[in-house]
Amino acid sequence: MNELRQKLTDVLRESSNIVFFGGAGVSTASNIPDFRSANGLFHQKLHRTLSPEEMVSRTFYERYPEDFFDFYRNHLVYPQAQPNDCHKALARLEQMGRLSAVVTQNIDGLHQKAGSKVVYELHGSVLRNYCTRCHKFYGVDAILEACGVPRCECGGVIKPDVVLYEESLDDTVINNAVRAIMSADTLIVGGTSLIVYPAAGLIHYYRGKNLILINKSTTTADSEASLVIHEDIASVMKEAVDALEAEK
């Protein structure tokens, strides 16, 4: 174990109220790419290049629903994905009574699949879908198995319960995430470049002692952190939690 990973283990040992705030980098080891890697898609029908942000905007969803769902199915839903070592390590920390909440920008549901119980999904989940007319709930298969725009038996559109660009985050989820971060003694920020707002701004509510950043590339908050690790988060978290459990 290198020095930085040992320091992380030491912080975990001394903490009793850890909150983890994560982004797309948490799920890349589960073979879920950052959807921005699809940048520059040429949309033949509109004769112009569209960014992924435009493709998952409220405007695009309303104006071009068939194209929206085609992009959504191909680039945001990964039904075969499984939790990786980071997801599993966080679930183990929660079971040990050290981690109180996971705040995630991801929509894949892998934290819950790994066993985490307290997860605040800032951008919703692909696993939840609902009819915009009668509000009937649907699982992800209703989206994946539909041809074109998924429709409810009542005729309404089945919309994924994800926050699109131009839509507001859920107030209840945001408030719960803020409370968790404000009360944490350690905040671990991982797998995120901290450029997507308003979610990235949540770390400014942290008032605790240990701000830890784990990301392959630098972030705007590196200078504020007490510990910065530019390594693979799945490997880092697994080794740190393994070492902690070995001390029992």
The confidence band for 43, taking pLDDT boundaries of 50, 70 and 90, is very low
For residue 180, what pLDDT is reported? 98
Please tell me the pTM assigned to this model.
0.93
Residue 198 and residue 207 in contact, taking contact as beta carbons nearer than 8 Å? no
Q: How confident is the model at residue 48 (pLDDT cuts 50, 70, 90)?
A: low
Closest Cα to residue 108, out of 213, 217, 29, 18? 29
Radius of gyration of the chain (CA): 19
Averaged over 196-220, what is the pLDDT?
A: 91
Task: Give the pLDDT band of residue 34 (cuts 50, 70, 90).
Answer: confident
Instruction: Take residue 29 and report the two structure tokens written for it.
Output: 């080891």
Q: Who contacts 45 (Cβ-Cβ below 8 Å, separation ≥6)? A: 64, 67
Indicate the domain borders of the chain.
3-32+82-123+168-246, 35-75, 128-162
The dihedrals phi and psi of 127, each to the nearest 5 degrees, come to: -75, -15
Give 231-242 pLDDT, tens digit per residue. Answer: 999 999 999 999
210 in Cβ contact with 195 (< 8 Å): no
- Is residue 41's pLDDT more than 60? no
Percent of the chain beyond pLDDT 90? 84
Work out the average pLDDT over 221-225: 93
Q: Which fold has domain 3-32+82-123+168-246?
A: Rossmann fold (3.40.50)
The catalytic site residues sit at 123
